[in-house]
Structure 1
Amino acid sequence: MKLNIRVRLSTMMFLEFFVWSAWYVTMGTYLGSNLGASDQEISLAFTTQSIGAIIAPFLVGLIADRYFPAQRILGIIHLIGAWLMYQLYQSEDFATFFPLILGYMILFMPTLALVNSISFNQMNNPEKEFSVVRVWGTIGWIAAGFLISAFAWDSKAGLESGMLKNTWLMASYLSLALGIFSMTLPNTPPRAGRADKFKLSEAIGLDALSLLKDKNFAIFFLSSILICIPLAFYYQNASPFLTEIGVENSTGKMAIGQMSEVLFMLALPIFFSRFGVKKTLIVAMLAWAFRYLFFALGDAESGVWLLLIGIALHGVCYDFFFVTGQIYTDAHAGEKYKSSAQGLITLATYGVGMLIGFWIAGMISDFYSDMHGNHQWKSIWLIPSGISVLVLLFFMTLFRDDKIKH
């Protein structure tokens, strides 16, 4: 791949994940402090990600794969997204906010597949070349977090003055830039002809349901759905939690999680080849249980180190479970169900699993809060820690170690 192409694809990835991180990390804090949203309303806002993940295969399969080049669809979506982000910036109550964020996420979630498609189309050796491009997405996510904390939008003074709403304006400007930039990306023509029949079962992975006849894969599949319940607690509650207990520059500190993601991504191949699928997944679930335990025991003063360790464990939690799971699914599915199996796992985790997780997290947060919006965070965090332990015990008991077939 030519240097010019690599730079353009890396820039695309940087902007894609910068735009997402610019508002997603702090949305829970923003809704509570700026719009006075309840915990259940905040939960409802986060479920739009799951709704978008469920609808994404339809949009990609019906439109991007059949009628228009992927880079043009990406550009149009981000141009519309820029307008929606600006409308969100101007929202003054949750009733106005929710339909806008729902519309945005239905459009945005398919772009995660589009940027991958555009990248793979330019690569001769994706196994070696893709990670070099994709890592710039993680850097973009980190950069947005650092910038928000550098501007002190997430500080106590920033929250009191309502400055956190500027995250939506920043996301709007960057989405506009990415929309325009996308039109200059290398051409990625539709993969399917207009006359080719669209198969819904293939788009959302239903073709791969036959894989669940294998008990081992069925245990992994169910564990993947269940572990997304505690994952949802982190996405929904981490920023409001850190802000409420008085951790300064909380968004920048949360970017430590993405830094660890880069490091553990590099460590994963070594760990995976040495210890195998089962032990790698067990380590990931153990890390989930410990991260929430650290959150329950930590505080903004002498216990801040526990919070930072909990954030840093994100790399182990995410990479060791989801990336390992993708590798295991790919190897288990075989040539016939490779695409369908990945679609099924994505639908099950980001769709069904996190949809359930956001609902439970909202209900638990609401139960452990008072009329002034203060939370009993220790009780809240012990629940996803306990769920992680239960999922771990279920997995350890029933899953037998599987050898990856090359």
Structure 2
Amino acid sequence: MSLKVEQSASQLLHEAFVSLRTLGKRSILALLGIVIGSSSVVALINIGHNAAEDAAAIFQDMGTDTLAVQFPDTSGARTPMPAALDLATLYKALPNLLHIAPVALFSGPVVFQGRTTNANLVGSTAALNDAMRLQLQQGRFLSEFDAAETYAVVGAQVAQTLSQPHDPLRLGDRIRINDYLFQVIGILQPQPAAVLIPVQTNESLFVPLEGMRRISSSAQISNLIARAAPSQDMNQLATALGDALKKQLPGRGVEVQIPQKIIDGMTRQSRTFGYLLMALGGISLVGGGVGVMNVMLMNVSERRREIGIRMALGARRRDIRNLFLLEAVTLTAVGALSGAVLGMSAAYLYARVSGWQFSLASASLPLGIGSTLLIGLFFGLYPAISASRLQPVEALRDE
């Protein structure tokens, strides 16, 4: 019995391929529509997935355990910020914060061997190194013993701009900022762009916080960057940090930003964006399904006499229905597999051109191939039922 069923299934599949081959160009055109629809679904799902991962990577590189604080003036009286904060009190009140780094920002020209470039001048403490996860290419970062020294750590882009092939910027060289010479004690590796943190590392030059007074007499703290211990409730910690800072800064607002909130928001936005792309791919797929139904209806119309002969020889209605339904599904399956390969290739090329790291969306292939087969089954059902409802006598009269 099992062998008979297998022979019957293989015979139906063989007849389906023979019938589709006899359709010629019409079958190819319908197949092309299915391929385009299936590839659109697979490609758009993967493009949306890689776009979301690339956007989230900016914040993931910074770390979800990082807090960035701003101090807007809420009093309206332009209350100045202090030149320093009581960090010992903050560490005591917030033991779950491992690193707390106040930041003073300024911008201006820096000069080395007659070469000048504009740089972001960042005054901070030794804690900024761990708070921002900075990576050194040469030398060391600022230490707690460098407060009174004219030391500087140079970002990768600034170092490259000030260097020449025969005269690179080296450790121990002195860079002039205004009327002061700052000795280079470290050169940073290129760092990914930080969106939440106002410090663009590659274009910055880091000096001790106290040294900012040499650069600008009005230098004051503008931001604070902190890093928490692992497995902390970041929302609760952000609230506690804000309350502690408000006690030290009366008349100033305190805004604590958490990367995880932004990542969660971007994830929701990316999910919505992914649904939109899936809908666009689905529309293309429906167009391909209409092409399949059109081809199958013409196939039924041209094979009315064959259907009548099959029924006269004992074929049941469900046999006729299954035959034409199998032809539609076979055509769709070939298009689904071809479209999946084409869609994956298109998504990979798009990611490479966009400079993204390509990763396969786990749902793309099941959704792309599965939805294509369902579309073929749905649009092939009506022609198959129409063929099974033909009356043998009327079908045999067709020439």
| TM-score normalized by the length of structure 1 | 0.26
Which structure features the higher share of helix residues? 1
Larger relative contact order, structure 1 or 2 (CA cutoff 8 Å, min sep 6): 2
Question: TM-score of the superposition, structure 2-length normalised?
Answer: 0.26
More strand by share: 2
